[in-house]
Structure 1
Amino acid sequence: MARIAINGLGRIGRVILRLLTTSRQAEPLEVVALNDIASPEMCAYLLRHDSTFGPYPGEITYDASGLRLNGLRIPLTATPDLDTLDLSGVDLVLECTGKAKSRAFATAGLRAGAMRVLVSGPCPVADETIVMGANDDALADQQVVSNASCTTNALAPLARYLDDAFGIVTGHMTTIHCYTASQPTVDTPRGDLIRSRAAALSMVPTTTSAGSQVGLVLPSLADRITATSVRVPTASVSAIDLTVQTREVVNADQVNTALRAAPPNIFGWTDEPLVSSDLRARHESIIMALPETHVTSGGLLRVFGWYDNEWGFSNRMIDMALRMTA
């Protein structure tokens, strides 16, 4: 049984904790430490009542130094400086604060005594950026690993799969992405003008790290796929709209046959005419909407896939944690 610590109980940290104490509690991962600057009362409250995924399916209590989830007591500390804690005996820190931009911050868990760190997002100072289904064969004994972004976890496996099957010459991806905590609820001054606008009132064309991250994860596709984002007024579930020119001439039936055979867990698929709320709490990295596959007379291939940017990504964090502690 591997011993893990979670630093940061934001959206991803809480979903991981929820999964590991409910539907994925049989995994050989034991959560032995939690750290968040919020109070135990607040952490317990936000775990118990989730506006996106509903009530926690079990009992949650707390005291001044820990949480008890379905009878399992987990110590909870509240320090912004993880390296002041004693994490000796911890096999892996799940770094979920979203702040691991410097090497000093990313390695704080190592200085506290943990063996390895897995970062829940892009991390420019990680030893390696790994995406399940795309380049997880590169995972070795790296001490600090980035799990990339939620959108990269959806795009990179799809891009690799299509490239292996048909060859990608070039392409463009737009993610239709639900709003996140990086956006304000009302118009508020921000460094980025367009992200200063109220998240739930407009569609917001903006950037995504997925374009550069795909090139990092799959160097053979670097500069061949560009990426943009449109933030939309929904709370969960995003989508990948990818158009590519393929080396091999394809038709929609041929592509959909291949997508049905794609690796499960990473890929899902549906023939139904679904909307985003139908895909909430799906565990796959991307769920292909097969009726949306089209090929133009000029040979451009368009595919469309859904992804729950919190639930699916958190499941990949757990899968990566299993690999890193195996």
Structure 2
Amino acid sequence: MSRNPTSTYRASSKLRLFGRSMKLSYECLFSHDNVNGKRLAAIVIGDGLRQMYRAMTRKTCFGRIGRIVFRNSVVHNTANVVAINDPFIDLEYMVYMLKYDSTHGVFNGDISTKDGKLIVNGKSIAVFAEKDPSNIPWGSSGAHYVVESTGVFTTIDKASAHIKGGAKKVVISAPSADAPMYVCGVNLDAYDPKAQVVSNASCTTNCLAPLAKVIHDKFGIVEGLMTTVHATTATQKTVDGPSAKDWRGGRAAAANIIPSSTGAAKAVGKVIPSLNGKLTGMAFRVPTTNVSVVDLTARLEKGASYDEIKAEIKRASENELKGILGYTEDAVVSQDFIGNSHSSIFDAAAGISLNNNFVKLVSWYDNEWGYSNRCLDLLVFMAQKDSA
């Protein structure tokens, strides 16, 4: 792949903070490559913006998903990051946040600054701190593909701000109420190149959907319930605080197991239409920093022993879902999956079967690293299809 760096993006919204109306803009990573002769571009926008209403000191656009997509783009060399825009942190702090990570460790590469730019492994990356999205020249900069990961612009209308700036396509790194959702390994064959804004769904949907697809295709799922035991995320509180829409969600993250809602299971019905209305679920937020696990309890149409189910999942993990669905029979725990790039890793030793038609299946996922890999995979897939 040839590298041909260009420029950056931004978007804005209004909110009231401490009684004052403020216009906020969110931007971060932009990258592009050459795939089948067509330039591939992506912006990664930090997910930390949702915290801005809580405290003025928590202002970062270069958030968890933004930084980890950046790291993965370097590790896998699938996208060339050429610019970062963050109006709320300076360049030196950006270097620090990228270099050191409490979960994923020290960045494996050289990071420095020169003339107001970020230098990563000898490559110069432009850094911007713009607040007005109209100041970013997407069209003239040659940006084609955007990864939108603020967690704010999750509808077609809001994410289309990127299109207005000159980008061609937007990948939302979150579930969307109206944008078509795609899960790698599950429904990419349904991708419509005419769509300008798409969703990569959630990390939990990316874990559940490949597993559900394997089971449903082979044995048929009559109905099922999913529980995700989910690591703490930036949306939670360090100590008890106000959370008007979710009272339990306002309790201290490090001190509690917190029941929560999730649309991840229902979203599977959007990427696997034959499962629409057959799955629902909930979440427990637990005091760990990373790696989550899905528990899928399902009633099967076609009876099968647990050994037969394991064999089918293992087969799929070594063939059509290789790299997406993993398989292990080891006595593993959550820390063993930090940095795992699979969307879902089936734990054969953890599942149980009541009878041939009622089974509980367990699958792990690094909700940061694995999901960020899929953001890049989807973006590359789109670029290849769009240029075909």
- TM exceeds 0.5? yes
Distance change (3 Å), C-alpha of 1:42 and 1:278: same
Counterpart for residue 314 of structure 2: 260
Counterpart for residue 148 of structure 1: 201
1:139 and 1:65 map into 2 onto residues whose CA distance is 39
Matched, 1:185 2:230: no
Matched, 1:205 2:255: no
2:327 and 2:212 map into 1 onto residues whose CA distance is 16
Query: What is the percent sequence identity of the aligned residues?
Result: 39
Distance change (3 Å), C-alpha of 1:83 and 1:208: farther
Matched, 1:96 2:157: no
1:46 alignment partner, one of 89, 92, 97? 97
Matched, 1:226 2:280: yes
Counterpart for residue 69 of structure 1: 120
Q: Which residue identity is paired with 1:132?
A: C
Matched, 1:134 2:186: yes
> Which moves more between the two structures, 147-156 or 117-126?
117-126
1:242 and 1:205 map into 2 onto residues whose CA distance is 17
Contact 2:306 2:356 in 1 (8 A): no
Q: Please list the CA deviations of residues 46-96 of structure 1 after superposition, one character each: whole Å capped at 9, or x if unmatched.
A: 111101100001111235743211111111222344443112211211111
1:31 alignment partner, one of 70, 76, 81? 81
1:4 alignment partner, one of 42, 55, 65? 42
Q: Which residue identity is paired with 1:44?
A: V
Counterpart for residue 311 of structure 1: 369
1:259 and 1:76 map into 2 onto residues whose CA distance is 44
Supply the RMSD in Å over aligned alpha carbons: 1.5
The alignment's TM-score, normalised by the length of structure 1, stands at 0.95
Q: Which residue identity is paired with 1:236?
A: N
SS state at 1:158 partner = helix
Contact 1:65 1:77 in 2 (8 A): no
Which runs of 5 or more residues in structure 1 are unaligned?
none
Contact 2:305 2:356 in 1 (8 A): no
SS state at 1:129 partner = coil
Contact 2:160 2:197 in 1 (8 A): yes
Distance change (3 Å), C-alpha of 1:247 and 1:102: closer
Q: Which residue identity is paired with 1:259?
A: I
Q: Which residue identity is paired with 1:242?
A: L
Q: Please list the CA deviations of residues 283-303 of structure 1 after superposition, one character each: whole Å capped at 9, or x if unmatched.
A: 000000001232113731111
Contact 1:6 1:94 in 2 (8 A): yes
1:4 and 1:117 map into 2 onto residues whose CA distance is 8
Which runs of 5 or more residues in structure 2 are unaligned?
1-33, 35-39, 47-61
Q: Which residue identity is paired with 1:123?
A: S
Contact 1:40 1:64 in 2 (8 A): no
1:157 and 1:167 map into 2 onto residues whose CA distance is 14
Contact 2:230 2:291 in 1 (8 A): yes
SS state at 2:253 partner = coil
Q: Residues 152-163 of structure 1: matches in 2 within 5 Å?
A: 152-163=205-216
Q: Please list the CA deviations of residues 139-169 of structure 1 after superposition, one character each: whole Å capped at 9, or x if unmatched.
A: 1211111101000000111111110010000
The count of residues paired between Structure 1 and Structure 2 equals 322
Distance change (3 Å), C-alpha of 1:150 and 1:80: farther
Distance change (3 Å), C-alpha of 1:198 and 1:123: same
Q: Please list the CA deviations of residues 196-222 of structure 1 after superposition, one character each: whole Å capped at 9, or x if unmatched.
A: 100011100111120231122222211
Matched, 1:297 2:355: yes
Counterpart for residue 114 of structure 1: 167
2:220 alignment partner, one of 167, 170, 178? 167
2:117 and 2:172 map into 1 onto residues whose CA distance is 23
1:120 and 1:235 map into 2 onto residues whose CA distance is 20
After TM superposition, give the deviation of residue 102 of structure 1 in Å.
4.3
Counterpart for residue 251 of structure 1: 305
The alignment's TM-score, normalised by the length of structure 2, stands at 0.80
1:114 and 1:226 map into 2 onto residues whose CA distance is 35
Q: Which residue identity is paired with 1:56?
A: F
Counterpart for residue 382 of structure 2: 324
